[in-house]
C-alpha cells in the first residue's frame, strides 16, 4: 500500500525510485557516480585492457583503488575479469553488455564536464 509519505515527492511512489531510502538503485547510482568507476568504464569502451594499461590510462589512481574499483564493477556485473593460464598469468578486464549500456550516459557526463569546466568556480 502506498502512503502519503511515499508519494510526497514526484516519483517516490515507485519501489525502484532512487529517492526512496531503501531503493536498491542507490547502490548502483553510488557505484556509477564514483569518479574512478566512471573513468574505468570509459577506458574499457575501446576493448579489453590489462590492469597496467588501465592504471596508465587512469592517471592518478593508486593500484589499491583501481583494484577495489574493478572488483566492485565486476561484482555489479559491469565488468568481466578473465585470467589466462599463461606464465606469467595475464588478466584482462572487459565490459559486459550491462557495462557497455552504462557507458553512454557516463560518456555524456564526462563530455559535459570537459566542455563546461571553465564555468565552474576554480575551473
pLDDT tens-digit series, residues 26-78: 899 999 999 999 999 999 999 999 999 999 999 999 999 999 999 999 999 99
Burial of 49 (0-12, 13-18, 19+ CB in 10 A): middle
Q: What does pTM read for this prediction?
A: 0.82
Residues 6+ apart with CB under 8 A from 103: 41, 42, 45, 95
Amino acid at each position: 500500500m502506498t502512503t502519503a509519505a511515499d508519494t510526497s515527492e514526484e516519483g517516490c511512489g515507485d519501489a525502484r525510485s532512487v529517492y526512496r531510502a531503501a531503493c536498491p538503485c542507490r547502490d548502483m547510482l553510488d557505484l556509477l557516480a564514483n569518479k574512478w568507476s566512471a573513468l574505468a568504464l570509459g577506458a574499457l569502451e575501446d576493448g579489453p585492457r590489462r590492469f597496467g594499461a588501465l592504471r596508465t590510462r587512469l592517471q592518478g589512481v593508486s593500484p589499491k583503488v583501481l583494484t577495489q574499483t574493478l572488483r566492485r564493477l565486476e561484482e555489479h556485473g559491469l565488468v568481466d575479469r578473465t585470467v589466462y593460464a599463461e606464465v606469467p598469468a595475464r588478466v584482462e578486464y572487459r565490459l559486459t553488455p550491462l557495462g557497455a549500456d552504462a557507458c553512454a550516459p557516463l560518456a555524456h557526463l564526462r563530455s559535459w564536464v570537459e566542455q563546461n569546466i571553465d564555468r565552474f568556480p576554480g575551473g
